[in-house]
Amino acid sequence: MRESGALRYHVVWGSVLAAARARGIGTEHLRRVRAYLRHRFGLDAADWAHPSQRPRGYFPGLTGTPVHDPKAFPWVLELEAAYAAVREEFDAVRAEALSAHPRNLVERGRWNVFELANNDGPVRGHLHNWPETRAVISRFPGAGKAGLVYFSIMEPGTHVRAHCGPANTRLRCHLALSPARGCRLRVDDQMLAWSPGRCLVFDDSFEHEVWHRGSLPRAVLIVDFWHPDLTENERWALGVVAAFKHTEFGWLWRKAGRMLSPGRGSAAPAPS
């Protein structure tokens, strides 16, 4: 409900402003962050730049390109160069406990993941168990802060329905770790295929879906990194937002949706 979103916005944006003041960052450097939060919490409608780009949190003013050239990012080329080492460490994952992808995106088939890092940093120390992989992804701007890092294993016969990622503040890199015959990724109106040792880079805030009509599992390493149009101050502020739920005030992040159930009052006015 809108009242719950207003409360969340009030608390999170207020925390960003307080942290920014402590660092000497003026609000003029965070205008786009404010607009992003107002859309994320349902207070303002997004001014979509593209009909296929509909993330839950829309950050204004970022170039919207569905598919990117991997050669444009030196850290992506370094990941390709480390393919053999990453593949060797990935083989050990098969002995680990995999989990189903946490979002309800699979229409049929099976999609398992092994998460290495997310906005909170390494997951239960997992990333520390893969030194070669850790070393190469540490060169990605915002790895473990901009989004997720995980191994993805998709079984034959799987269809992942069309969907948009949660925010346009990141780009997503796939390093193919296995042959992927019969497996295709659609991003907007472009069809892509994986090749072992090569990377795909795309903006997952654009609508995308996957069909696996092959006979062998498709395995990739997925690394999210900051959208290159973000400023350093904006990247810092988005990191504050991601980490907020773990601060001493983070309980409001988790409980705000229940605090204003019908009959319990209205939200405090959101700061401008």
Contact 158, 210 (CB under 8 A): yes
SS3 state of residue 231: coil
pTM, two decimals, is: 0.87
pLDDT value of residue 83: 98
- Choose the CATH number for 67-226 among 3.40.50.720, 2.60.120.330, 1.10.10.10, 3.30.565.10: 2.60.120.330
Q: How far is CA 29 from the centre of its chain?
A: 23
What is the tens place of the pLDDT at every residue in 209-264?
Answer: 999 999 999 999 999 999 999 999 999 999 999 877 655 455 555 554 444 444 44
- Is the pLDDT assigned to residue 103 strictly greater than 70? no
SS3 state of residue 174: strand
Give the HSE-up count for residue 107: Cα atoms under 13 Å, Cβ half-sphere: 10
What is the tens place of the pLDDT at every residue in 118-129?
Answer: 766 555 556 667
Contact 260, 7 (CB under 8 A): yes
Average pLDDT over residues 57-64: 95
Entry field: residues in the chain: 272
Contact 74, 80 (CB under 8 A): no
* CB contact set of 13 (below 8 Å; sequence gap of 6+): 34, 37, 270, 271
SS3 state of residue 154: strand
Residue ranges, CATH 2.60.120.330, the chain: 67-226
Going by C-alpha positions, the residue among 88, 80, 78 that lies closest to residue 138 is 78
